[in-house]
């Protein structure tokens, strides 16, 4: 029997309001979503069996005016730190996907002592000149599914890209447009804000979960993260998955995170 | 009414298979394959000759706009305006660009100031927000900052022109110890500021609040644009403003020939060419998340429309007949054109017509023919509309005189140019 997550709001000392979904029991896990917005997926549902999952909405995802208070990832890191303090948490397992992975890595670089363990899933944030990050915002709608998914015609692609029903098409389009606007606010037109210079500050054990067929940030980016991060790192490539590994191969990603969280020590990759 | 010959300065020779072979006319049409710099030089000369001809024949204004990495527009309208300012005397210079979010605001203040000085106060300062293609995709401005950057640039340029300098500007995007542009414009308190856009509610409201002329720019024509102009006037009326038609401008393709049949024969291929190629804009460039406000986005989703002037509907295969019926083109004999222009002026209360009379593939001679026929056989019959009731003064540059009619102008052609020496 599953139940819906609780939808909560908390007023932060900055005057901003954070909105988040919460469910589960166990150690705290903060999940930062991608530019496709936040939905309570099977992935989060399964994590909630082992963790108390907090899934905040990225600022501006519903009300774009909020973005006036955010000029860059430094503001975003402060926002998440205010949230973590407001939740009364000391150290968290931090999981971020794509744009959320970029935000999670930035947070872990600014506040390394607050991150117990870090999980970056198909994260943006780095740049390799001869293997540039693909841009789903400019390739044209017809080419997006093949960039994002190992199986562009599969169930996962439908779940991420299509409204749940035709009646919800307008609402879905509005939500997706606002989510993408609020994400690219931080990294347009190239998702590189010199994070590579700050990676050394990340001290926590870090798991890099990557779709083996990620065509947005190919697995070479997992290696670049692993090279720069000071804490022990481990790369877990997920077969049969693209940029949304946790949606295309949910079980494998949940198991990988579960195993990683249970480890007390990690050898360097 | 004010009749403005408006030149988009498009590249005149795109391959026939352009729309099949290339993704977009804007942002990423490969310059190395498509744009021959030597031919571009020829086209630029023709553009200037056509603009100068219109000035000599008595059009009230000449103007141009600004687009980037685009095969139907040209990037630097201020360069064109500077030349026109130097070689003409009476005509208003309607500069619908500079696109504020992509420039340092002081540069705009200074360049426009310089054009106004050289022209003797004939500048219309058009300040478009710019399309997402230009601002976000070509110049890399963050979509969610487009409007904030525009608004701050607007405030800063206006302050630079009207406040006693030097003064300090501590904005979000501009931090300046010394705002002190040299020169300032001749026109007081500043050149008329025109907004131009594709019908966003916020822009209507700003025009009403600031008493700016608003020009609706689309290629949909006077029938498709009718509802937008109604909304503009409703917004204007609600704010308690008068109904001066010179608050409103409208871009319209206009093509004149001796007879209706002749117009079809002369212009149809160029109309087809334009709609098939120039409106071939890739959708991901036209609708970028964050470029439109949430309110405009909700509005366009409600109407199930793309939030852009580049509605795919305009891109369908047009014929001369369909373009006339849909209002995309006002074209035909002089009598046909003046009847339609007067009808549309009264229906939409348009004081300023932005006349699109050179479409991309149109040759130099045909463009000149269009410019001449309109000046000689349409202009004298329509230009006095509104003038017994309304004063264009607040919305029109103070240094631009009502030019002579074409017939008079022809007589004094030799003297209407500044001597070249």
Interface test with A, best of B69, B152, B294 (most A CBs within 10 A): B294
Query: Has residue B321 been placed in a domain?
Result: yes
Task: State residue B409's pLDDT score.
Answer: 53
Residue B122's domain comprises 2-415
Task: State residue B75's pLDDT score.
Answer: 81
**Other residues' Cβ atoms within 10 Å of the Cβ of residue B252:** 25
B297 touches chain A (CB under 8 A): yes
Which tokens hold the place of B377?
């056989």
Q: How far apart are CA B206 and CA B100, in angstroms?
A: 15
Task: State residue B228's pLDDT score.
Answer: 92
B137 touches chain A (CB under 8 A): yes
Residue of chain B whose Cα is closest to the Cα of A139: B284
**How many Å from the N-terminal Cα to the C-terminal Cα in chain B?**
35
B283 touches chain A (CB under 8 A): yes
Inter-chain contact B290–A139, Cβ cutoff 8 Å?
no
Contacts A68 to B, Cβ<8 Å: 148
Task: State residue B15's pLDDT score.
Answer: 95
Task: State residue B316's pLDDT score.
Answer: 62
| CA-based nearest distance A29→chain B, Å | 29
* The total number of structural domains that make up chain B: 1
Interface test with B, best of A189, A191, A192 (most B CBs within 10 A): A189
Assign residue B121 a region (left: φ > 0; alpha: ψ between -120 and 50; beta: otherwise).
left
Interface test with A, best of B142, B148, B151, B282 (most A CBs within 10 A): B142
Asked whether A115 and A91 are in contact (CB, 8 A), the reply is yes
Q: How far apart are CA B5 and CA B61, in angstroms?
A: 6
Residue of chain A whose Cα is closest to the Cα of B138: A189
Angle at which helices B201-210 and B226-238 pack, to 10 degrees? 40
B305 touches chain A (CB under 8 A): no
Task: State residue B116's pLDDT score.
Answer: 98
Q: How far apart are CA A229 and CA B116, in angstroms?
A: 57
Of A211, A213, A212, nearest to A146 by C-alpha is: A213
Query: Which tens digit of pLDDT belongs to each residue from B57-76?
Result: 999 999 999 999 999 888 88
- Say what percent of chain A tops pLDDT 70: 97
Residue of chain B whose Cα is closest to the Cα of A191: B142
Q: Give me the residue from B145, B288, B298 closest to A174, CB to CB.
A: B298
A173 touches chain B (CB under 8 A): yes
Query: Which tens digit of pLDDT belongs to each residue from A2-34?
Result: 689 999 999 999 999 999 999 999 999 999 999
Query: Has residue B421 been placed in a domain?
Result: no
Of B171, B176, B215, B175, nearest to B196 by C-alpha is: B215
Q: How far apart are CA A60 and CA A199, in angstroms?
A: 26
What number is the average pLDDT over the span A38-45?
96
DSSP B222-265: HHHTHHHHHHHHHHHHHTT----GGGEEEEEEEEE-SSHHHHHH
Q: Give me the residue from A139, A170, A181 closest to B143, CB to CB.
A: A181
What number is the average pLDDT over the span A36-63?
96
B293 touches chain A (CB under 8 A): yes
What number is the average pLDDT over the span A69-91?
97
- Comparing A53-62, A64-73, A258-267, B385-394, the range with the smallest average pLDDT is A258-267
Q: How far apart are CA A67 and CA A179, in angstroms?
A: 12
Inter-chain contact A174–B290, Cβ cutoff 8 Å?
no
Query: Has residue B420 been placed in a domain?
Result: no
DSSP B92: E
Task: State residue B408's pLDDT score.
Answer: 57
Inter-chain contact A188–B136, Cβ cutoff 8 Å?
yes
Task: State residue A5's pLDDT score.
Answer: 97
Contacts A170 to B, Cβ<8 Å: 301-302, 304
Kindly list the distances between the CA atom of residue A208 and the CA atoms of A202, A234, B318, in Å, as whole numbers in the listed order.
13, 6, 53
Query: Has residue B190 been placed in a domain?
Result: yes
Asked whether A123 and A103 are in contact (CB, 8 A), the reply is no
**Burial level of B303, CB count in 10 A (0-12/13-18/19+)?**
exposed
Q: What is the 3-state secondary structure (H, E, C) of chain A?
A: CCCCCEEEEEECCCCCEEEEEEEECCCEEEEECCCCCCCCCHHHHHHCCCCEEEEECCCCCCCHHHHHHCCCHHHHHHHHHHHHHHCCCCCEEEEEECHHHHHHHHHHHHCHHHEEEEEEECCCCCCCCCCCCCCCCCCCHHHHHHHHCCCCCCHHHHHHHCCCCHHHHHHHHHHHHHHHHHHHHHHCCCCCCCHHHCHHHCCCCEEEEEECCCCCCCCHHHHHHHHHCCCCEEEEEECCCCCCHHHHCHHHHHHHHHHHHHCCCCCCC
Tell me the mean pLDDT per 10 residues along chain B, length 421.
Answer: 96 93 96 96 97 97 96 90 96 95 97 98 96 96 97 98 97 98 97 90 92 94 94 96 97 98 98 92 92 88 59 69 96 98 98 97 98 98 94 95 61 46 37
| CA-based nearest distance A160→chain B, Å | 17
Contacts B301 to A, Cβ<8 Å: 170, 173-174
| CA-based nearest distance A68→chain B, Å | 9
Asked whether B143 and A60 are in contact (CB, 8 A), the reply is no
Whole-prediction pTM: 0.93
Q: Give me the residue from B140, B142, B289 closest to A177, CB to CB.
A: B289
Query: Which tens digit of pLDDT belongs to each residue from A122-177?
Result: 999 999 999 999 999 999 999 999 999 999 999 999 999 999 998 899 999 999 99
Task: State residue B405's pLDDT score.
Answer: 60
Residue of chain B whose Cα is closest to the Cα of A67: B144
Q: Give me the residue from A63, A141, A173 closest to B301, CB to CB.
A: A173
Q: How far apart are CA B22 and CA A248, in angstroms?
A: 33
Query: Has residue B295 been placed in a domain?
Result: yes
| CA-based nearest distance B5→chain A, Å | 35
B143 touches chain A (CB under 8 A): yes
pLDDT confidence bin for A267, thresholds 50/70/90: very low
Q: How far apart are CA B131 and CA B129, in angstroms?
A: 7
A166 touches chain B (CB under 8 A): no
Q: Give me the residue from B23, B140, B302 closest to A189, CB to CB.
A: B140
Q: What is the CATH number of the domain that holds B15?
A: 3.20.20.30
Inter-chain contact A184–B142, Cβ cutoff 8 Å?
yes
Task: State residue B125's pLDDT score.
Answer: 98
Q: How far apart are CA B284 and CA B310, in angstroms?
A: 12
Inter-chain contact A181–B293, Cβ cutoff 8 Å?
no
Contacts B297 to A, Cβ<8 Å: 174, 177-178
B290 touches chain A (CB under 8 A): yes
- Comparing A96-110, A231-245, B324-338, B407-421, the range with the smallest average pLDDT is B407-421
């Amino acid at each position: 029997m599953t139940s819906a997550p609780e939808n909560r709001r908390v007023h932060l000392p900055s005057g901003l309001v954070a909105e988040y979904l919460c469910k589960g029991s166990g150690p705290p896990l903060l999940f930062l979503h991608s530019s496709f917005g936040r939905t309570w997926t099977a992935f989060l549902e399964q994590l909630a069996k082992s963790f108390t999952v907090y899934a905040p909405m990225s600022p501006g995802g519903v009300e774009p005016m909020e973005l006036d208070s955010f000029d860059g990832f430094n503001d975003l890191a402060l926002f998440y730190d205010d949230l973590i303090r407001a939740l009364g948490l000391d150290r968290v397992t931090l999981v971020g996907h794509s744009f959320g992975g970029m935000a999670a890595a930035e947070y872990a670089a600014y506040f390394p002592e607050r991150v117990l363990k870090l999980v970056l899933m198909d994260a943006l944030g780095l740049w390799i000149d001869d293997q540039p990050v693909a841009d789903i915002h400019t390739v044209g709608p017809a080419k997006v599914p093949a960039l994002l998914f190992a199986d562009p015609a599969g169930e996962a692609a439908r779940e991420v890209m299509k409204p749940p029903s035709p009646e919800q098409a307008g609402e879905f389009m509005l939500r997706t447009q606002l989510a993408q606007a609020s994400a690219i606010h931080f990294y347009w037109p190239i998702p590189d804000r010199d994070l590579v210079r700050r990676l050394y500050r990340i001290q926590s054990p870090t798991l890099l979960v990557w779709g083996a067929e990620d065509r947005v940030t190919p697995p070479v980016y997992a290696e670049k993260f692993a090279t720069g991060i000071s804490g022990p790192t481990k790369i877990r490539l997920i077969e049969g998955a693209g940029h949304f590994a946790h949606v295309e191969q949910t079980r494998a990603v949940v198991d990988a995170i579960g195993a990683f969280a249970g480890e007390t020590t990690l050898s360097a990759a | 009414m004010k009749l403005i010959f408006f030149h988009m300065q498009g590249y005149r020779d795109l391959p026939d298979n352009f729309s099949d072979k290339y993704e977009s006319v804007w942002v990423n049409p490969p310059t190395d394959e498509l744009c021959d710099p030597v031919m571009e030089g020829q086209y630029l000369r023709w553009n200037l000759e056509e603009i100068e001809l219109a000035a000599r024949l008595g059009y009230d204004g000449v103007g141009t706009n600004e687009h980037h990495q685009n095969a139907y527009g040209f990037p630097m309208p201020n360069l064109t305006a500077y030349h026109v300012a130097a070689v003409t005397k009476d005509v208003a210079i309607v500069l619908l660009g500079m696109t504020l979010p992509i420039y340092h605001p002081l540069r705009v203040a200074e360049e426009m100031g310089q054009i106004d000085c050289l022209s003797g106060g004939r500048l219309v300062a058009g300040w478009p927000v710019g399309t997402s293609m230009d601002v976000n995709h070509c110049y890399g401005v963050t979509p969610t900052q487009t409007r904030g950057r525009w608004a701050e640039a607007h405030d800063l340029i206006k302050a630079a022109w009207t406040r006693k300098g030097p003064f300090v500007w501590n904005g979000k995007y501009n931090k300046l110890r010394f705002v002190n542009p040299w020169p300032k414009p001749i026109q007081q308190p500043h050149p008329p500021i025109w907004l131009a856009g594709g019908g966003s509610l916020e822009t209507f409201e700003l025009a009403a609040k600031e008493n700016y002329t608003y020009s609706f720019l689309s290629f949909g024509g006077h029938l498709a644009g009718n509802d937008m102009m109604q909304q503009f006037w409703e917004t204007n009326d609600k704010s308690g403003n008068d109904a001066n038609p010179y608050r409103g401008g409208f871009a319209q393709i206009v093509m004149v020939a001796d007879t209706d049949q002749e117009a079809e024969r002369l212009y149809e291929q160029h109309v087809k060419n334009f709609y098939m190629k120039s409106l071939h804009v890739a959708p991901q460039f036209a609708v970028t998340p964050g470029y439109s406000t949430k309110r405009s986005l909700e509005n366009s989703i409600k109407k199930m429309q793309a939030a852009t002037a580049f509605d795919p509907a305009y891109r369908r295969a047009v014929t001369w007949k369909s373009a006339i019926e849909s209002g995309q083109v006002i074209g035909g004999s002089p009598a046909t054109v003046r009847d339609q222009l007067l009808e549309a002026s009264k229906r939409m209360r348009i004081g300023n017509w932005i006349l699109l009379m050179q479409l991309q593939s149109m040759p130099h001679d045909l463009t000149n023919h269009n410019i001449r026929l309109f000046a000689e056989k349409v202009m004298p019959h329509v230009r006095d509309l509104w003038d017994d009731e309304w004063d264009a003064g607040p919305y029109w540059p103070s240094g631009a005189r009502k030019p002579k009619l074409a017939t008079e102008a022809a007589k004094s052609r030799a003297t209407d140019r500044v001597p070249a020496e």
